[in-house]
């Protein structure tokens, strides 16, 4: 789109009317940015005095009105009254009144028109919450539309309402940004307008897409002409996606734009909402995966989580999941795929599928395939733990616990994983107890019995037991320095069961025990032992050796390194790491655990180095991750750490007082006993305590 302001338009009015008309006919952004009401009024009067064509005057009014309706964020308070006083609103959009229009939602839609030459025409589509007996277009527009165009727009509105439940009582409306003598012909404007109407009705994302095709009231997309010319028009105007009727021949797209055929409005909505440049193949795979339950089970893991999220939100998984729920064979196959998702660290896919599955069917399936249901519940528990969604985790843990006993006799690996998850669920609820849950204790003893027999037969490695030992090691570390001997003992047992130095395949598993020990030693104030554990975990002879490798460290390695440096600062080592961090913060951080802790400890380092501004920036970014709507309660409670950091860095308290109260409430709901010390303290005292005694509330690897 070409941006312009009144000054630019004033210049064009005197020298290039054709370019002026082209800019006025494109909703490319507000014309009032950076200008006062008085200056805006003067320039408008100067512009209208130079335009001696009534049609261009009308188009200018349409453009100003369109931008007012579209650009709701940041528009000046005086503009509405100015438009009502200076523009012929009724001549533009009557019978829709200006006050009714201001209450509506609006969206721009690009339409490819083919007359003597191909050109782009912009419509502005609206949804009115209170407008009885409103036609689909203004009175002044009816004579511009031929019969096919009128039918196309009417079908577009009917199809959009048919694919969006809850549209009853709301009225759709649209008007074109064209000169008053422009003829608008053909039904192929139906699909782009149906997409715009659907976005308004469903609050859907979507942009960067040009579409063409007639639509019937049922949402089927019918043939359109001049497809190659329209595709070239899409490329010329910078659109990344071109949608056209499936009934047409396949198109070869020029560079920079992808062309996809669609058969229905629903399919077009899906493609428009999910398209990412150069990844159109994801959309083709999604469409194929949704064709049947077996196709879905086979292909869903190749799809990005955004595709599954959209399909779940729009009910496209309901039929698939109902079919899977009615077949124990299909359910077992999907449960197996969820285990693969878990192994690959894909929590999002598990969450989307588990949420779409009819929960009441799990009870019935327990009778038929209890092991598959157990694996399903363990995957759900793992995903909930991963996000820190403690209340959801409790539901999954309760379901799985009832199946753990029969599962233990047939699938010890999943059962051992479940025991680990029970402990992690505890940690996510800030319940730190050296006494293991009964179910976890039972699994541990059974695995030890099995491993003793295996060792007698010469088999030294038992992966499920090694992982469970490692989680028990974590549990003792969370319980504090007084349990350090137990932490060390179970770290050693874990390394032994994981075949330390003898099974290279499990190297990351044995090194993880050094991560646990380094954090435990830091909590115990044993800085030399913490350094040794850190260096073993990072596979480095000294911290100086790390400089060339910093780019390749994992998020867990960076989190531990930043914590170690913040707790045991050594000037030279800190300077080296801070210099690297300055250059890499923007590209490294992801909005998930443990990056919020890395940012927090990095903020501590910069604050100690005297760089308060950068420290504040890092604490603020840590806070953003903790408070994302996708973050579970565990991460939300961790917001107390960067809030304390902001307080220390001199950030104005009033900005975060409300957030502190909300976070304190979440913490007390999560574990009132653990966070009781914060319950009655005022803001300043609480934040000071959280800074000085963070280990009291956030032990081990939680800070």
Predicted pLDDT of residue 165: 56
Predicted pLDDT of residue 635: 94
Q: Is residue 658 part of a domain?
A: yes
pLDDT at 226 over 80: yes
Residues in the chain: 703
Model pLDDT for residues 548-583, shown as the tens digit of each residue: 899 999 999 999 999 999 999 776 788 889 999 999
165 and 113, same structural domain?
Answer: yes
Domain boundary (312, 332, 349) is at 349
Between the CA of residue 381 and those of 110, 363, 371, 390, 399, what are the distances in Å?
45, 17, 15, 9, 10
Q: Mention every residue, 6+ apart, whose C-beta is less than 8 A from residue 420.
A: 440, 467, 468, 471
pLDDT at 28 over 90: no
Beta sheet of 118-128, edge-to-edge order: 105-114, 118-128, 171-176
Retrieve residue 411's tokens.
């699938």
Q: Is residue 327 part of a domain?
A: yes
pLDDT at 8 over 90: no
Specify whether the CB–CB gap between 155 and 217 falls below 8 A. Answer: yes
| pTM score over 0.75 | yes
Cα separation, 553 vs 57, whole angstroms: 62
Specify whether the CB–CB gap between 310 and 289 falls below 8 A. Answer: no
314 and 218, same structural domain?
Answer: no
Domain span including residue 651:
566-703
688 and 570, same structural domain?
Answer: yes
Model pLDDT for residues 135-154, shown as the tens digit of each residue: 999 999 999 999 999 999 99
Per DSSP, the chain holds a count of helices (H) and strands (E) of: 36, 8
**Residue 104: CATH number of its domain:** 3.30.230.10
Q: How many domains does the chain have?
A: 4
Model pLDDT for residues 430-480, shown as the tens digit of each residue: 999 999 999 899 899 999 999 999 888 888 899 999 999 999 999 999 999
Q: Is residue 358 part of a domain?
A: no
154 and 101, same structural domain?
Answer: yes
Mean pLDDT of 652-681: 89
pLDDT at 163 over 80: no
Predicted pLDDT of residue 14: 81
Predicted pLDDT of residue 406: 67
Q: Is residue 456 part of a domain?
A: no
117 and 16, same structural domain?
Answer: no
Mean pLDDT of 55-68: 95
Mean pLDDT of 295-307: 92
Kind and range of the H or E element at 476?
A: helix 463-478
274 and 342, same structural domain?
Answer: no
pLDDT at 409 over 90: no
Q: Which spans in 326-389 are helix H?
A: 328-343, 347-356, 360-368, 370-387
Q: Is residue 323 part of a domain?
A: yes
Secondary structure string (H, E, C) spanning 133-160: CCCCCCHHHHCCECHHHHHHHHHHHHHH
Specify whether the CB–CB gap between 612 and 645 falls below 8 A. Answer: no
Specify whether the CB–CB gap between 623 and 642 falls below 8 A. Answer: yes
Mean pLDDT of 384-409: 83
Domain boundary (87, 113, 141) is at 87
Q: Is residue 536 part of a domain?
A: no
Q: Residue 45 CB: number of other CB atoms within 10 A?
A: 11
Domain boundary (349, 376, 396) is at 349
More confident residue, 61 or 163: 61
Predicted pLDDT of residue 149: 95
Beta sheet of 241-245, edge-to-edge order: 209-211, 241-245, 258-262
Cα separation, 66 vs 4, whole angstroms: 14
């Amino acid at each position: 789109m070409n941006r312009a302001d009144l000054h630019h338009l004033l210049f064009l009015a005197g020298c290039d009317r054709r370019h002026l008309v082209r800019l006025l006919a494109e909703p490319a952004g507000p014309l009032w940015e950076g200008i006062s009401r008085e200056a805006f009024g003067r320039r408008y009067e100067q512009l209208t005095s130079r335009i001696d064509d009534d049609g261009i005057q009308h188009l200018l009014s349409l453009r100003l009105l369109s931008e007012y309706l579209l650009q709701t964020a940041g528009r000046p308070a005086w503009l509405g009254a100015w438009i009502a006083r200076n523009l012929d609103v009724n001549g533009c959009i009557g019978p829709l009144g200006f006050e009714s229009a201001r209450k509506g939602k609006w969206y721009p839609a690009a339409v490819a028109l083919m007359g003597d030459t191909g050109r782009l025409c912009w419509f502005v589509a609206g949804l009115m919450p209170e407008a009885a007996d409103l036609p689909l277009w203004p009175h002044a527009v009816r004579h511009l539309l031929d019969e096919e165009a009128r039918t196309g727009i009417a079908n577009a509105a009917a199809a959009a309402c048919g694919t969006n439940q809850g549209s009853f009582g709301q009225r759709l409306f649209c008007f074109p940004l064209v000169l008053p003598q422009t003829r608008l012909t053909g039904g192929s404007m139906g699909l782009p307008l149906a997409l715009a109407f659907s976005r308004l009705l469903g609050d859907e994302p979507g942009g960067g897409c040009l579409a063409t095709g007639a639509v019937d009231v049922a949402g089927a997309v019918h043939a359109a002409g001049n497809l190659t010319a329209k595709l070239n028009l899409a490329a010329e105007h910078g659109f990344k996606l071109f949608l056209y009727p499936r009934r047409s021949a396949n198109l070869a797209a020029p560079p920079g734009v992808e062309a996809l055929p669609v058969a229905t409005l629903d399919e077009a909505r899906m493609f428009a909402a999910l398209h990412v440049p150069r990844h159109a193949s994801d959309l083709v795979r999604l469409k194929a995966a949704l064709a049947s339950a077996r196709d879905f089970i086979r292909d869903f893991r190749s799809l990005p989580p955004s595709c599954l999220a959209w399909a779940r939100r729009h009910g496209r998984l309901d039929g698939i999941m109902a079919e899977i729920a009615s077949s124990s064979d299909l359910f077992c196959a999907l449960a197996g795929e969820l285990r693969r998702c878990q192994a690959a660290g894909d929590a999002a896919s598990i969450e989307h599928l588990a949420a779409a599955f009819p929960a009441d069917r799990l009870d019935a399936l327990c009778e038929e395939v209890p092991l598959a249901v157990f694996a399903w519940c363990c995957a759900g528990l793992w995903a909930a733990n991963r996000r820190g969604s403690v209340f959801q985790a409790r539901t999954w843990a309760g379901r799985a616990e009832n199946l753990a006993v029969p599962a233990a006799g047939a699938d010890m690996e999943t059962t051992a994983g479940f025991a680990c998850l029970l402990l992690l669920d505890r940690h996510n609820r800030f319940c730190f107890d050296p006494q293991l849950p009964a179910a976890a204790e039972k699994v541990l003893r059974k695995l030890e019995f099995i491993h003793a027999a295996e060792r007698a037969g010469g088999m030294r490695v038992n992966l499920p037991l090694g992982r469970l030992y490692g989680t028990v090691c974590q549990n003792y570390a969370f319980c504090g320095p007084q349990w350090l001997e137990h932490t060390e003992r179970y770290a050693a047992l874990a390394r032994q069961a994981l075949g330390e130095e003898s099974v290279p395949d499990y190297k990351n598993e044995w090194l993880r025990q050094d991560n646990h020990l380094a954090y435990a030693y830091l909590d115990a104030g044993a800085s030399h032992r913490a350094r040794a554990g850190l260096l073993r975990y990072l596979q480095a002879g000294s911290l100086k050796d790390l400089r060339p490798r910093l780019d390749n460290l994992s998020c867990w390695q960076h989190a531990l390194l930043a914590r170690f440096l913040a707790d045991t600062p050594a000037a030279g080592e800190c300077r080296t790491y801070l210099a690297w961090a300055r250059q890499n913060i923007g590209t490294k951080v992801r909005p998930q655990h443990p990056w919020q802790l890395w940012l927090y400890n990095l903020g501590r380092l910069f604050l100690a180095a005297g760089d308060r501004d950068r420290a504040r920036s890092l604490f603020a970014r840590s806070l953003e991750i903790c408070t994302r709507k996708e973050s579970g309660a565990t991460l939300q409670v961790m917001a107390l750490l960067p809030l304390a950091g902001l307080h220390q860095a001199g950030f104005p308290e009033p900005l975060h007082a409300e957030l502190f109260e909300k976070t304190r409430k979440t913490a007390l709901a999560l574990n009132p006993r653990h966070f009781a010390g914060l319950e009655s303290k005022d803001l300043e005292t609480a934040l000071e305590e959280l800074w000085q005694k963070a280990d009291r509330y956030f032990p081990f690897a939680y800070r």
